[in-house]
Structure 1
Amino acid sequence: MIEVSRIVRLACVATTLAFASAVPASAHHDEVKDDPAIVTERLHRMGFVEWRKLRWDHGIWKVDDARRENGHVYDLQLEAGSFDLVRLTRERS
Structure 2
Amino acid sequence: MIDVSRIVRLASAVAVLGIATAIPASAGHRAPPEDPAIVAERLRHMGFVEWRDLRWSHGYWKVNDARRENGHVYDLKIEAGSFDLVKLTRERD
Same fold (TM over 0.5): yes
The 5 Å alignment of 1:1-93 reads 1=1, 2-3=4-5, 4=7, 7-18=10-21, 21=23, 33-93=33-93
Cα distance per residue 1:34-93 (max 9 Å; x no partner): 421111110011111111111111111110000111111100111111000111111111
- Structure 1 residue ranges without an equivalent (≥5): none
SS at match of 1:75: strand
Letter in 1 for 2:15: C
SS at match of 1:39: helix
- Structure 2 residue ranges without an equivalent (≥5): none
> Would you say how many aligned residue pairs link Structure 1 and Structure 2?
87
CA distance in structure 2 between the aligned counterparts of 1:85 and 1:7, rounded to whole angstroms: 53
The alpha-carbon distance between structure 1 residues 86 and 70, as it changes in their structure 2 partners (threshold 3 A), is: same
Larger radius of gyration: 2
CA distance in structure 2 between the aligned counterparts of 1:89 and 1:30, rounded to whole angstroms: 26
Percent of residue pairs identical = 60
CA contact (8 A) 1:34 1:56 kept: no
